[in-house]
Amino acid sequence: MTKGHPLNIIKKQIENYFNDVWGKKHGAKMSIFDDLSPVMNTYKAFDELLIPLDHPGRQPTDTYYLSQEQQILLRPHTSAHQNEILREGITSFLCTGDVYRRDSIDATHFPIFHQMEGVHVFPKEALPGVEEKDTLLVVEDMKMALEGLAKHLFGDVKFRWNSEYFPFTDPSYELEIFFREQWLEVLGCGAIHQQILKNTNLSPRRGWAFGLGLERLAMILFSIPDIRLFWSGDQRFLSQFSSPSPSTPLPKFKPYSKHEICTKDISFWLPPSFHDHAFFDVVRDVAGDLVENVTLIDSFKDVSSGRESKCFRVSYRSMDRNLTNKEIVPIQEQVRARCESELGLKLR
């Protein structure tokens, strides 16, 4: 993340909020971590976070494993660092890093993105116990901190809280912000699970944690319409952002001309156990960031054979030039071929 890049600007703004605005009010200082290795084992990424063995996040359809035995992986979230940092006795911190996931393909999802983890455990002498009313105090304090962050970044903005589930927080929530006529999820959070506080020798203290998507927040802050733009080396993108001083208003992204879209449909019969992510992964692998969106447009089950069929629409568009049909046809052909040879899909 280089200086002047929108991701770096938003990261600094969040760190400023927690150390200068929120921190001053609460007499807390958040330690900053941003160079921890993304290569780790399943113990750190999942076990220590109480993530059960049958959780979908552990499957190779979600996670990028680096070893055959599925022991070593690319971190799927920055929560993977919670335990090690807490165990060092550091109880207020922000931890930023690149994270890796197989996921859907659209304007707000990318297989590599950046998260920032925020953790705050209340000091011994302050607050709360372990009863339900105490948990409510923890949640209230967390929501105030995060609503304050939204206000700090965006001024008056429309947001809402939804209940969520994470194995390492209880209760858990997600925060959504209204952006481009839609609700956009920007973070997950909750009261730190008491077992994690016990395991890190902090019990009976209480605390909260959150994990936010830096690209999503930067999209809102700068009005960036597509997450692929963060990977652009195009000066028409990069030159629009300069590290602003606190007194100058942040620039809004001025879209340069949008290039032609080229769509191709693909239909296939599924093998017995099949995950859409496997298909998305092949499309990503072949088309890289030329693919803008993959949408399921039809699915049905053949009653007599019990077989299921799906049809996806793949939309190709470059962020910085016009694509020709001539260029896309062989890409789509390659996607089709790999669907058959690697995924065992029967093309229709």
User: Where does this chain bind Mg ion (CB under 5 A)?
Assistant: 188
Q: Is 180 strand, coil or helix?
A: coil
**Alpha-carbon span 33 to 116, nearest angstrom:** 9
**Residue 159 buriedness (CB in 10 A; 0-12 / 13-18 / 19+):** middle
Residue 267's DSSP bridge partners are 311
Q: Which of 166, 241, 268, 316 binds ligand FA5 (CB under 6 A)?
A: 166
Q: Which is nearer to ligand FA5, 196 or 331 (CB)?
A: 196
Is residue 83 close enough to count as binding ligand FA5 by CB under 6 A? no
Please identify, using beta-carbon distances, which residue of 77 and 284 lies nearer to ligand FA5. 77
Q: Residue 200 interacts with ligand FA5 (CB under 6 A)? A: no
Task: Identify what 222 binds: Mg ion, ligand FA5, none; CB under 5 to 8 Å per kind.
Answer: none
Tell me whether residue 57 or residue 255 sits nearer to Mg ion (CB atom).
Answer: 57
Nearer Cβ to ligand FA5 (194/309): 194
Q: How far is the CB of 118 from ligand FA5 (least distance, A)?
A: 8
Residue 43 CB contacts under 8 Å (≥ 6 apart), including other chains: none
Which single residue brings its beta carbon nearest to Mg ion? 188
Task: Pick out residues in 19-78 that bind ligand FA5 (CB under 6 A).
Answer: 77
Instruction: Kindly list the distances between the CA atom of residue 41 and the CA atoms of 71, 77, 103, 130, 348, in Å, as whole numbers in the listed order.
Output: 5, 13, 20, 31, 40
Tokens describing residue 39: 């290569």
DSSP string, 235-283: HHHHTT-----TTSPPPPP-PPPPPPPEEEEEEEEPPSS--HHHHHHHH
State in angstroms the smallest separation of the CB of 19 from ligand FA5.
Answer: 19
Whether residue 212 contacts residue 142, with contact meaning beta carbons closer than 8 Å, is answered with no
CB of 178 to ligand FA5, least distance (A): 14
Q: Contact 317/261 with Cβ under 8 angstroms?
A: yes
Q: Smallest distance, Å, CB 78 to ligand FA5?
A: 7
Which residues in the chain belong to E strands, given as ranges? 31-33, 39-41, 72-74, 92-100, 112-121, 159-166, 169-179, 182-192, 207-213, 262-269, 291-301, 308-316, 346-347
Q: Does 190 bind ligand FA5 (CB under 6 A)?
A: yes
Q: Which are the contacts of 341, defined by CB distance < 8 A and separation ≥ 6?
A: none
Residue whose structure tokens are 């109480």: 50
The correct pick among 17, 18, 113, 279 for binding ligand FA5 (CB under 6 A) is 113
Cα–Cα dist 76/60, whole Å = 11
Q: Which of 210, 230, 241, 312 is the binder for ligand FA5 (CB under 6 A)?
A: 210
Q: Which among 29-37, 152-160, 185-193, 318-326 is the span making contact with ligand FA5, rule CB under 6 A?
A: 185-193
The pairing of beta strand 308-316 with beta strand 346-347:
unpaired
**Amino acid identity of 98?**
D
Tell me whether residue 153 or residue 345 sits nearer to ligand FA5 (CB atom).
153
Structure tokens at 87: 């165990």
Considering the complex, state which of residue 96 and residue 169 has its C-beta at the smaller distance from ligand FA5.
Answer: 169
Number of residues binding to ligand FA5, judged by CB under 6 A: 26
Question: Per rule CB under 6 A, is residue 103 in the interface with ligand FA5?
Answer: yes
Q: Which of these segments, 39-47, 64-72, 164-172, 287-295, binds ligand FA5 (CB under 6 A)?
A: 164-172
Q: Which of residues 219-238 bind ligand FA5 (CB under 6 A)?
A: 227
Position 110 contacts ligand FA5 (CB under 6 A): yes
Closest approach, Cβ 166 to Mg ion, in A, equals 9
**Residue nearest to ligand FA5 according to CB distances in the complex:** 213
Contacts to ligand FA5 by CB under 6 A: 77, 79, 101, 103, 109-110, 113, 115, 117, 166, 169, 172, 185-190, 209-213, 215-216, 227
